[in-house]
Chain A
Amino acid sequence: MIEISDLHKSFGALEVLKGINLRVEKSSVVALIGPSGSGKSTLLRCLNLLEEPDSGVVKMGDAVFKYGADWRRPGDREVSAFRARTGMVFQHFNLFPHMTALQNIIEGPVIVKKMQKKKAVELALHLLGQVGLADRGSSYPSELSGGQKQRVAIARALAMEPEILLLDEVTSALDPELVGEVLDVIRALAEKGMTMALVTHEMSFAREVADQVYFMSDGVIAEHGTPDEVLTRPQNPRTQAFLSRFRLSGN
């Protein structure tokens, strides 16, 4: 489905990704876990090229992007077309504040895919229903709770009918009582066979929905496998240390 190999990325002198290999199979869910600053979010942002890798290969179906000194940098048109086939949901929602929930959702289909507005509205209403906000289409983001905003953001990403959905700590900015409603939406998507890669600090949720768990530390993938392998019987000392800290903090 989507595959990256030998991916490197630095910000100035700081090397954030040090040769990452990762595969997300169709209809599977991959969870990226690890301490803050380990490169999880950067890796996720490289998957849809919001962050441009310094070197390495990003491959999804027939689209192949090779980065490095020997390769031509892809143009805005190619990269945008690629991003249109992926969906991303952000920690801080990033809804467009000057548009209603409905307008947020139809923006991509209408502007990027040139879908007829009438069709886009139908699609948006369907998606709003799917995330449990059928009656909030005309609300502006400032009138929605954090959990509602994030569900609109998920609907906005889904409106592009992406081949993969990327979720970047989508519950980290939410009040604890609002986390559940967002996780419910993601769980339902997983059950429907949506391909997803998610960065999360919700270990029990990762265990529940993920098919594969990748543990990242200091810009490398220290360990990966099934949730049971990585979360229950971790082999790598760094994974063990990370998970025991997590349990101690009561998660």
Chain B
Amino acid sequence: MSYDWSFGFLWEYRSLIFKGLLITVAFTIGTNLAGLLIGLVVGLCRQFANRYVTIPLVAYIELFRCTPLLVQLVWIYYALPVLIGVNIPAYTAAALTLSLYAGSFYAEIFRGGVAAIDKGQWDAARGIGMRWSQSLRRIILPQAFRLMIPPIINQSILQLKNTSLISTLAVGDLLYQGAIITSATYRPLEVYTMVAVVYFVVLFPATILARQMEIRMSRGR
């Protein structure tokens, strides 16, 4: 079986590919930031609040961590509007789902990071008269962030790849543009190879950066 590979035609579609990449990157950055914020708040409440707060939060975290992202996207885009009677635009549904999904993972990273700090650090901070919030902000979180940087970078990398699923809601990300080009050219092998290469070119440097930071952190004080 022989196949005549030909990538030349892709040049015609460069603006479409670039637009798709921009949307992918924008969704990655935006939902990562929102996810970090959600994760910080939820993770800290999960660690410190009473059980009336933590039980619903655990439910949220595990629901989003233990179901497929694809199902979540479809559910929030199609099923939630039926339940609450409000139409949600595809871009909003995609951003909301990705943020909540990332938030559930970040929440566990934040909780674990804070929990990993020796209890003696709280004693020392409280011992010099710091309020609870001062101890958290000045002593616990700076140390915890250091532990959390590698898992946060890992999760961010996964998040960029996860954005490919929003193409199912017809959000024009890189994969979606790939599908459009495929339907116009009937050349799926070249198109999806190109899509994979673009993802790789963006992510590979990020993984190198992550590894360097990890090394610096483990060496650091």
Q: Chain A: residues with CB nearer than 8 A to chain B?
A: 48, 50, 76-77, 80-88, 90, 92, 94-98, 107-108, 111-113, 140-142, 153, 156-157, 159-160
Contact = CB atoms under 8 A, between A and B. Distances in A.
B124 A94 contact: yes
A156 B128 contact: yes
Task: List the 7 closest pairs (A to B, CB-CB), nearest first.
Answer: A84-B129, A108-B128, A94-B124, A94-B120, A88-B127, A112-B129, A83-B129
B130 A108 contact: yes
Contact of A95 (B124, B126, B134, B138): B124
Nearest to B142: A98
A80 B131 contact: yes
Q: Is the interface of B mostly helix, strand, loop or mixed?
A: helix
Interface in B78-130: 118, 120-121, 123-130
A87 B128 CA distance: 6
A139 to B, nearest CB: 10
B63 to A, nearest CB: 33
A238 B153 CA distance: 58
Interface of B: 118, 120-121, 123-132, 134, 138-139, 142-143, 146, 221
A97 B120 CA distance: 12
Contacts of A94: 118, 120-121, 123-124, 127
B120 A92 contact: yes
Contact of A97 (B126, B128, B134, B221): B221
Contacts of B126: 50, 80, 83
B124 A96 contact: yes
19 contacts: A48-B127, A76-B131, A76-B132, A80-B126, A80-B129, A82-B129, A83-B126, A83-B127, A87-B128, A90-B124, A94-B121, A96-B143, A98-B143, A111-B134, A112-B129, A112-B130, A153-B124, A156-B128, A159-B128
Nearest to A97: B221
A92 B168 CA distance: 55
Given A94-B121, A97-B143, A98-B143, A157 B131 contact: no
A107 B134 CA distance: 11
A111 B138 CA distance: 9
A84 B123 contact: no
A100 to B, nearest CB: 9
Contacts of B120: 90, 92, 94
A216 to B, nearest CB: 21
A160 B134 CA distance: 16
B151 to A, nearest CB: 19
A108 to B, nearest CB: 4
Contacts of A85: 129
B123 to A, nearest CB: 6
B123 A50 contact: yes
B134 A87 contact: no
Given A94-B121, A98-B146, A111 B127 contact: no
Contacts of A96: 121, 124-125, 139, 143
Contacts of A97: 143, 221
A48 B128 CA distance: 10
Contact of B221 (A81, A92, A112, A142): A142
B145 to A, nearest CB: 10
A92 B127 CA distance: 14
A98 B129 contact: no
Most buried by A among B121, B124, B221: B124
B101 to A, nearest CB: 31
A50 B129 contact: no
Nearest to A153: B124
A48 B139 CA distance: 20
B140 to A, nearest CB: 10
B130 A98 contact: no
A48 B123 CA distance: 11
Nearest to B118: A94
Contacts of B127: 48, 50, 83, 86-88, 90, 94, 157
Contacts of A108: 128-130
Given A88-B123, A94-B124, A96-B125, 5 more contacts: A50-B127, A111-B130, A111-B134, A141-B221, A157-B127
